Amino acid sequence: MNFKLKIWRQPNQKTAGEFHDYAASNIPAEASFLEMLDIVNEGLAEGNEDPIAFDSDCREGICGMCSLVINGIPHGPGKAKTTCQLYMRRFQDGDTIWIEPFRAAPFPVVKDLVVDRSAFDRIIESGGYITARTGSAPEANSVPIGKPIADLAMEAAACIGCGACVAACPNSSAMLFVGAKVSHLGLLPQGQPERKSRAHNMVRAMDELGFGNCTNHYECEAVCPAEINRTFISRLNREYRKAAVREAVAVTVDE
Q: Which stretch binds another protein (CB under 8 A): 97-105, 134-142, 168-176, 207-215?
A: 134-142
First and final CA of the chain: distance in angstroms? 62
How many CA atoms lie within 13 Å of 197's alpha carbon, on the beta-carbon side?
A: 15
Amino acid at 185: L
At closest approach, how far in Å is the CB of 94 from another protein?
19
Residues recorded for the chain? 255
Tell whether residue 1 is a contact of another protein (CB under 8 A).
no
The residues in 188-217 that bind another protein, with binding defined as CB under 8 A, are: 188, 190-191
β-pairing, 109-111 vs 114-115, is antiparallel
Q: Which stretch binds another protein (CB under 8 A): 92-100, 166-174, 183-191, 206-214?
A: 183-191
Q: How far apart are CA 131 and CA 243, in angstroms?
A: 19
How many of the other CB atoms lie within 10 Å of CB of 35? 17
Q: Mention every residue, 6+ apart, whose C-beta is less than 8 A from residue 214.
A: 169, 171, 173, 175, 233
Q: Residue 112: which of 49, 159, 169 has the closest Cα?
A: 49
Q: According to CB under 8 A, which one of 14, 92, 94, 138 is a site residue for another protein?
A: 138
Site string for another protein, 81-120 (x = CB under 8 A): x---x-x-x--------------------xx--x-xxx-x
Q: Which stretch binds another protein (CB under 8 A): 95-103, 186-194, 208-216, 240-248?
A: 186-194
Nearer to another protein, 184 or 196 (CB): 184
Tell whether residue 63 is a contact of another protein (CB under 8 A).
yes
The residues in 222-251 that bind another protein, with binding defined as CB under 8 A, are: none
Tell whether residue 25 is a contact of another protein (CB under 8 A).
no
